[in-house]
Amino acid sequence: MTILLTGGAGFIGSHTYVALTQAGHEAVIVDNFYNSSQEVISRLQTITGKAVPYYDVDVCDHHALDQVFQKHSFDAVIHFAGYKAVGESVGMPIEYYRNNLDSTLTLCEVMRERGVNRIVFSSSATVYGMTDDMPLKETMSSGGCTNPYGWTKYMIEQILRDVADANPSWAVALLRYFNPIGAHESGLIGEDPVGLPNNLMPFITQVASGKLKELNIFGNDYPTPDGTGIRDYIHVVDLAQGHLDACAYLMAHTGCEVFNLGTGVGYSVLDMVHTFERVNNVTVPFHIAPRRPGDIARCFADPSKAEKLLGWKAHKSLEDMCIDAWRWQSLNPNGYATV
């Protein structure tokens, strides 16, 4: 397969590039490097041993994107590109709606014009909103998102569902990610947040390395066994494989399907801290802080649909996630900026 990866230099996109290339497929990256580094490209080259086809193009730029489609014959597109910071989206709703929706609509227009009709979309468990009903199943209702970022995922899902309904030859897979963490085992690519990390694992790794003083655990009074929030953490390499399996599925099916990509197992914030300390032999000082607005007590997937229809399942353990995240942090104390 020849696959276009929009946002292919990002955290999940770069791991998916490796998975596709190592499985013998051709992957082409389009990224404007707004929230990613050019250094990713040379790291990908080192991992795969091949030149990386990439274009420094904004997906909102119809003309530039069209030129990429003219140069390649894509079987499918995986659409990762988009703004992704939950907190930032609350203060910048116009930018989030403009960028995330515009890029998707522009991509769909170019796909239609160039006769490419398979798309995998990077969605999120956040579209399930503030529910207590666990595990989350694809048949449950979505909506009630707590921030503009989440609403853009919800709206793009709806756009793509409508496109598939209107065009019976289209094939759409909406992948709802749970909490992707970890890094490629080479330690060459990983998550490189800009500024202070919002998410738990990059915060833990930066505390363990001494870059940050201590972790704030957002609440220990949730109705969970140890009082801290429970999430379904998934290794980014397992997640990347889910995209390959989704592309293969779309080669044989039309219409629109939603898939949860999670492990089905939830761990608490304290489980994360203690496992990280144990497997990496480091300490992660923390203190208990107030709850973070918008957080729910528990969030974990029922991933059985992906296993049944895609033949996909997460294999890596929480220990693997912690070891690989720490290797990435240790080898790249300043992320991609070290080079």
Pick one of 231, 243, 316, 327: the residue that binds ligand UFG (CB under 6 A).
231
Question: Is residue 81 near ligand UFG by the rule CB under 6 A?
Answer: no
**Token pair in block for residue 106:** 């522009």
Total of chain residues touching ligand UFG, rule CB under 6 A: 20
Question: Is residue 131 near ligand UFG by the rule CB under 6 A?
Answer: no
Question: Is residue 330 near ligand UFG by the rule CB under 6 A?
Answer: no
Could you identify the residue written with the tokens 């202070």? Answer: 196
Of the candidates 28, 76, 34, the residue with the CA atom closest to the CA atom of residue 54: 28
User: Which residues ranging from 255 to 294 are in contact with ligand UFG (CB under 6 A)?
Assistant: 269, 292
Beta strands at 267-268 and 230-231: parallel, antiparallel or unpaired = antiparallel
Pick one of 41, 188, 217, 246: the residue that binds ligand UFG (CB under 6 A).
217
φ/ψ of residue 253, rounded to 5: -135, 150
Question: Is residue 203 near ligand UFG by the rule CB under 6 A?
Answer: yes
| Structure-derived torsion over alpha carbons of residues 316, 321, 326, 327, reported in degrees to the nearest 10 | 20
Strand order in the sheet with 230-231: 267-268, 230-231, 298-299
Q: Which of 149, 233, 267, 336 is catalytic?
A: 149
Question: Is residue 124 near ligand UFG by the rule CB under 6 A?
Answer: yes
Q: What is the DSSP letter of 303?
A: -
Question: Is residue 174 near ligand UFG by the rule CB under 6 A?
Answer: no
Q: Which residue has the closest beta carbon to ligand UFG?
A: 229
- 336 is a catalytic site residue: no
φ/ψ of residue 9, rounded to 5: -95, 0
Contacts to ligand UFG by CB under 6 A: 86, 124-126, 150, 179, 198-200, 203, 215-218, 229, 231, 269, 292, 295, 299
Active-site residue list: 149
